[in-house]
Amino acid sequence: MSPPRRRTQEERTAATHERLLQATFASLVELGYARTSTPEVQRRSGVSRGALLHHIPTRADLVTAAVDCVFDRQLAEYRESLAGLSMDADDRAAEAIELLWTKLSGDTFYAWLELIVAARTEPVLLERVRVLTRRFDQNAADVREEMFPPPEESNPYYKVAVAFGFATLIGLGVTRIYEDEHRQRKVIEPLKMLARMVDPAGG
């Protein structure tokens, strides 16, 4: 047998970076932003302090890079899931709402929420959060138009439908912290009805 191939410097660097991102994200979810410190990330990742500072110099860079990485993965999963939605007009919009709800009520959402709240009083973090939000919004819009093309006939509700759906589900995601899902279902089910009304395939 030939000896195992040694990793290149680029591969080792990428692996270290990934360990730091995963450790940071896990800390955000489990401990929150205030307790996600560089020593905590160093402990979780097993990376030396010097290596941590070399890869990601500041705490704001660390936490935003971690969530950015996870959002990229979530967007890819969202795109893949949407591609497998039923093409039945009555079911497709409802399935999309359910899918979006699962994406906005999991670990990624709550890590993102930690950053949003912290950014209110931290200008440097706020700017990074703005950049991430704009990029995610654009990517989400691209996915929407790819899976749900605009209607041929003008529909004044089409352009605002996704923004309204996101805003509603984000608000429900916050209330999920202190309420059970039964009360949220009272909003999600009507939201599905509204989604069907603006689905171009629903006519």
DSSP annotation string for 28-61: HHHH-STT--HHHHHHHHT--HHHHHHH--SHHH
Q: Check pLDDT > 50 for residue 120.
A: yes
State the average pLDDT for the chain.
83
pLDDT at position 45, please?
93
Q: What is the pLDDT of residues 81-98, one digit of tens each?
A: 777 776 665 577 788 888
Task: Give the highest mean pLDDT range of 1-5, 39-43, 56-60, 126-130.
Answer: 39-43
Which pTM was predicted?
Answer: 0.81
**Which of residues 136 and 89 earns the better pLDDT score?**
136
Stretch 27-55: mean pLDDT? 91
10 Å CB burial of residue 160 (0-12, 13-18, 19+) is exposed
Instruction: Give the pair of three-digit tokens for residue 138.
Output: 């654009």
Q: Which of 18-22, 34-38, 131-135 has the lowest mean pLDDT?
A: 131-135
With left for phi above 0 and alpha for psi between -120 and 50, is residue 151 left, alpha or beta?
Answer: beta
Q: What percent of the chain has pLDDT over 70?
A: 88
Q: Check pLDDT > 50 for residue 135.
A: yes
pLDDT at position 30, please?
95
Alpha carbon 62 to its chain centroid, in Å, reads 16
Q: What is the pLDDT of residues 102-115, one digit of tens each?
A: 888 888 889 989 99
Alpha carbons 53 and 65: distance in angstroms, whole number: 14
Q: Which of 37-41, 52-56, 73-77, 148-152 has the lowest mean pLDDT?
A: 148-152
Instruction: Give yes or no for a contact between 104 and 39, defined as CB atoms under 8 angstroms apart.
Output: no
